[in-house]
A and B are shown apart, each in its own frame.
Chain A
Amino acid sequence: MNRRAFLRAGCCGGLASISPHAFADDPWQVPPRFSRPDAASDEGGLWALMDRQETRLRRSPFNLDAPELRAYVQGIVCQLAREHCPDVRVYLMRVPNFNANMAPNGMMQVWSGLLLRMDNEAQLAAVLGHEIGHYMERHSLEGLRAAKSSSAIGQFMGLFGVVGLVGQFGLVAGTFSYSRDHERDADRIGAQLMHEAGYDVSEASKVWTNLSLELRANPDASAPNPLFASHPGREEREATLAELAARYKGGETRETLWQQKTAPFIRGWLADEIKRGRPEQSIALLTRVATRSSGAADYLYARGEVYRLRAGEGDLDLALTDFGKAIALGSEPPETHRALGMIYRARKRGADARASFERYLQLAPQAPDALMIRSYIEELSA
């Protein structure tokens, strides 16, 4: 009986029936570093292709200009990738969707939409460890060698392409995916790498559970979801990861360090999320992350803004509540007061509007719209 059949037989009895020894017969070793293939070989040609894509990533105006954050994420990747650390290069891109991938030549891109959705370092390590798993097992190369037509190769390359290319988004989803076996292997390896780097493996399945929450909030469930650039088979992966968490106990989340390093960027990423124009998903996301131990005021302000801009039945009152909560926490973004001012003004509560606008200008005297808000105050005073 092969291992997979054994697992299937055991699965329906609940987690307790899965013996940890199910994995004991394949102890997995990190392979030695890969050497650059001969330029004339097929693989060498692929490598040159990847190098060119990497240059475009590096030069793209959508590259997140944040050397400290990049160094921090590079450090996490380094820990996970062990001996392969010198071969991996991280690129952070300013795209409000959930995606991270790694190409055969060691280039890794991570989108800001994914960074926003991570609660702690361990969750990011789960995603990146998974990608490193694909890299170490050379799944993409296997896939390429098996590709029946050259158009498949082209499409595959599109996966690692630059955000700035025309039509890239629509193409990434669904044109090329790793096999279920490869995904399962990458989860397994990712969990092992996470554990050996000291992370709490139980954070891995939370990543997917959290994402499911958002996707279920999509009112048009049949349409392909641009939030997801790849990684099908979520429900199955949640189960696999829960099994792995039972095997690898202990470890840290490093939540505090993660929150500290990402804090300077959260407001910008939240603004991008709001601009996506998907209020139902944003509300689901923001409701979840508002329970994080730091930054709640920013998330509450953002959710309030989503309500205010959607302006459906009852939304303005929901917005007022969220803004009030953010202010009560004491670290609200200045824009909270501007948004309050807008609502009060629309409801003809002149004195309240004036007070809110004044507070906004006090907190953000250099805001781009300071002069306009000043003129609103003058109008309301007249």
Chain B
Amino acid sequence: MNRLAATCVALGLFMHSGIGWCQSENLAPGFSGLPKDAKVAVMPLDIEIFSISAGGVFEPRADWTEAATRNFKSALQKRKGQLGLNTVEVPEKDADELVELNSLHGAVARSIEMHHFGAGALQLPTKAGKLDWSLGESTRAIKQATGADYAIFAWVRDSHASDERKAAMVAIALLSLGRVVQHGGLQTAYASLVELDTGRVLWFGRLRRESGNLKESDEDAGETLDTLFRTFPQAK
């Protein structure tokens, strides 16, 4: 966490404050919440769940990904009201055209995670500690397709040790007398709220942990969603 944000936390001014210099690290400068009833397009979710083989190879698991996508969507539907979102779907016929933007968002999200939130060593001096990323006017295509003024993107990668992997991990832990602890799986999720006229990332939520089980049920997906959207500002 950068020093500004750390100071804000210490002063108990972590979230929802409109004071410029105490802006939460999850919010772009000057943004504190959506106008009431703002239309928000929900972009096709970019989710991929992997199985980790005994040899440590990540294998994409389409069945887990399918389940996770369904669960996440259902959880988002249920929580729209809580988040104060007036959502609109991206029509299927437009989703094909917008796939490049969705991929681009994935790269932007990973950059924000790496350089804004990641180990402090990777902060970019030119960003001056602010959440200051923009996809530019390219996002107007989403506005045209949906009539929305904002969009939510989500990028989720999750991995789970296969049974063989779990057995191998136990063996390695035993043999190393507990000194070598391998990952059983890593859940990484990012979500952004983007202003479609300018492409500005207004809010960025993140989640990085060893647990979480999107593929099992929509309660689990709901828990992931709640954690991911914990820092989402209330509508004004």
- Chain A contact residues, CB within 8 Å of chain B: 45, 48-49, 52-53, 58-59, 61, 149-151, 153-155, 157-158, 161, 165-168, 170-171
Contact = CB atoms under 8 A, between A and B. Distances in A.
A161 B60 contact: yes
A289 B111 CA distance: 47
Contact of B60 (A48, A61, A168): A168
Interface string B80-102: 00000000000000011001100
Given A52-B69, A167-B57, A154 B62 contact: yes
Nearest to A175: B59
Contacts of A58: 96
Interface string B58-76: 1111111110010000000
Nearest to A160: B62
5 closest A-B pairs by beta carbon, nearest first, are: A157-B62, A154-B61, A59-B99, A49-B66, A49-B62
Nearest to B44: A55
Contacts of A48: 66
A168 B58 CA distance: 10
Interface in B12-63: 48, 51, 57-63
User: Which of A52, A151, A158, A166 has the largest number of chain B CB atoms within 10 A?
Assistant: A151
Contacts of B51: 151, 154
Contacts of A45: 63, 66
A52 B58 contact: no
A59 B63 contact: no
Interface of B: 48, 51, 57-66, 69, 95-96, 99-100, 162-163
A52 B163 CA distance: 26
Contact of A166 (B58, B65, B99): B58
Nearest to A162: B60
Contacts of A150: 63
B182 to A, nearest CB: 18
10 contacts: A52-B65, A151-B51, A151-B162, A154-B61, A154-B63, A154-B64, A158-B59, A166-B60, A167-B59, A168-B60
B59 A52 contact: no
Contacts of A53: 62
Contacts of B59: 154-155, 158, 167, 171
Given A59-B99, A151-B162, A52 B62 contact: yes
A53 B63 CA distance: 10
User: Which of B48, B51, B62, B69 has the largest number of chain A CB atoms within 10 A?
Assistant: B62
B183 to A, nearest CB: 17
B27 to A, nearest CB: 31
Given A151-B51, A167-B57, A167-B58, A157 B63 contact: yes
A165 B162 contact: no
Contacts of A155: 59
Nearest to A150: B63
Given A59-B99, A151-B162, A158 B60 contact: yes
A42 B37 CA distance: 40
A354 to B, nearest CB: 43
